[in-house]
Chain A
Amino acid sequence: MSIDLVFRLAAIGIIVAILNQLLTRAGRDDMATMVTIAGLILALFMVMDLISDLFESVKRIFDIY
């Protein structure tokens, strides 16, 4: 796993948090929720391969086939 991915996820988290605060203070709670969900989906897409690898490793280690 590259450390770049961790930094990238951190940056997206910071950006989404700031956007969420901005939109909430502007009274656009619905948009703030959408942005948070979009950030979450984006982050999940970025770590999808790693999660898949993790499940494969768990299956291999515990002989779950």
Chain B
Amino acid sequence: MKLLALILIFAACCLGGYCLAAPYKRRPLLLNQLHSGILGLENRLIYYGEPLHLALVHLGAGYDDAVSCLFYGMGKSMEKDPRLSPRQAAEQELNAPNYASLTAMDREILLEIFEGMGRDQQGQKSALSHGRDQLRDAAASAQEQKEKNAKLYQSMGLLLGAAAVVLLV
């Protein structure tokens, strides 16, 4: 019985470490996906000349990741309620748990991109291009943080579990 309890304590500590490390692992992946999604959106808006809501729905259907949820959800919301601004639609979709690993700064970058979607084509192009640059920088910093923190939290969970077992055994 005691052995089982010790194993459970150790497993719980390890799991805690992995849970703390998970957002650091997920964030660069998500930002890179969003970066490529924004690139696709730029192509559809500027070069194919599609309306924003259709471009979002088509892009969302084409991807198979977190970006698809964001774009598809935004496109559908804007189809249902044409008065909804792209920024408001993005705000609604970014509340989903899929995007919990994004920081407030990442969200602000995305919201600024979609705020720029209400402008003319030149304004859209500059907002998308500026947003892509910001997302690329954010992805690079997220990658640095991942390398620094993800392994740290995993190792700390494991070692604290081991310490608890040593103290309780």
Measured CB to CB, the residues of A under 8 A from B are 8, 11-12, 15-16, 18-19, 22-23, 26-28, 42
Are A15 and B152 touching (Cβ within 8 A)?
no
Are B163 and A26 touching (Cβ within 8 A)?
no
Are A23 and B152 touching (Cβ within 8 A)?
yes
Q: A22-B155, A23-B152 are in contact. List 20 more A-B contacts (CB 8 A).
A: A8-B166, A8-B167, A11-B166, A12-B163, A12-B166, A12-B167, A15-B163, A15-B166, A18-B159, A19-B156, A19-B159, A19-B160, A22-B152, A22-B156, A22-B159, A26-B148, A26-B149, A26-B152, A27-B148, A28-B152
B22 lies within 8 A of chain A by Cβ: no
Q: Give B152's nearest chain A residue, CB to CB.
A: A26
B6 lies within 8 A of chain A by Cβ: no
Which B residues are in CB contact (< 8 Å) with A8?
A: 166-167, 169
Q: How far is the CB of B145 from chain A (nearest CB, A)?
A: 10
| In the bound complex, CA of A10 to CA of B162 (Å) | 13
Top-5 shortest CB links A-B: A11-B166, A26-B152, A15-B163, A15-B159, A22-B155
Which B residues are in CB contact (< 8 Å) with A27?
A: 148
Which B residues are in CB contact (< 8 Å) with A15?
A: 159, 162-163, 166
